[in-house]
Amino acid sequence: MAARKRPLVSIEITPPEKGRSISELFGSVDQLLPFNPTFITVTYHQQRIVYEEPVPGQIRKVPRRKNPGTVGICAAIYNRYKIETVPHIICGGFDKYETEDALIDLQYLGFKNLFVLRGDPAPGQKEFVPEPNGHRFASELIAQIAAMNHGHYLEDLDNAAPTDFCLGVAGYPEKHYEAPNRADDLRHLKEKVDAGADYIITQMVFAARPFLDFVDRARAIGIKVPTIPGIKPVTNARQLVTIPREFHVDLPEELVSRITRAATPADAARVGVEFTTRLCRELLRNDVPGLHFYTMGRGRATADVLKATFI
């Protein structure tokens, strides 16, 4: 980001569901190669724990994960495309020692960039519950990684080699859904930056002004790191329900009404691409450091937006 000569383009993808091929994901990335994505982030989600009773009186803990393979997907993408990949690292499901071991493995594998989040509650839980001796907040996880960057591990090691991770964190222009207000949410963001975060990628935004106001408010309390807006093309009526429900964001009335009135699925997709293209152009006029696209593993709409924006 520091060396950029033009706004960066980056994308986020989700690993395929268990049992599915990686080929569909590669197909999505292939559609976006003409736009030279600088980096690709890969999501990570907590596993769901179920308890089975195979015989009366014997309880068995069974972990089930819907989208495994974050590190493997990152390695596969880098080996295939030589594009920088950024795995998500979350608090949920790990204690501090398991986190340290995972970070050491990532260092050995050559990863330099991480995206650090608390993560959502585990499937089936309403509230986030950390592991015993785990991290409750992303700022705590960032502090652990930042300490490793200075050669400080959980054990007192002699001549420990420091890691060299660059850390991204999430920001929420409309505030995190658990925060009581925007000011409190920004204070938590500053805690993450003060703990060692190097850049911010925001939750998806659907209007430029709320994002720009968010950056201004962040700068006013001392958050100076680069902040990249998250972009999600909305191209069908079903997303008008699922996106607000899953990501706790508001959709502009213009977008909702135009997609709702669209006569065909193709018309709805065209409306979404046109709307998102206008948003991207406005953000670029305001000198954002980049655009980060949430593709959910599907690249066609993002490719259409990028083509209309840059070509």
Is 12 considered catalytic here?
yes
Determine how many CB atoms are found less than 10 A away from the CB of residue 253.
8
Going by the DSSP 8-state scheme, the letter that residue 286 receives in this structure is T
Label residue 242 exposed, middle or buried (CB < 10 Å: 0-12, 13-18, 19+). Answer: exposed
Question: Cβ distance 207 to 201 under 8 Å?
Answer: no
Kindly state the tokens that stand for 144: 């652990």
Going by the DSSP 8-state scheme, the letter that residue 51 receives in this structure is E
CA angle 214, 219, 223 (to 5 degrees): 105
Label residue 237 exposed, middle or buried (CB < 10 Å: 0-12, 13-18, 19+). Answer: middle
Catalytic-labelled residue, pool 12, 100, 140, 174: 12
Kindly state the tokens that stand for 48: 């769901």
Q: Which amino acid is at 177?
A: Y
Question: Cβ distance 240 to 260 under 8 Å?
Answer: yes
Residue 169 and residue 288: Cα distance in Å, rounded?
A: 17
Coil, helix or strand for 173?
Answer: coil
Question: Cβ distance 15 to 41 under 8 Å?
Answer: no
| Residue indicated by tokens 């990686």 | 22
Length of the chain: 311
Q: What distances in angstroms separate CA 216 from CA 131, 163, 164, 174, 205, one per listed residue?
A: 36, 32, 30, 14, 15
Residue 305 and residue 311: Cα distance in Å, rounded?
A: 10
Active site residues: 12
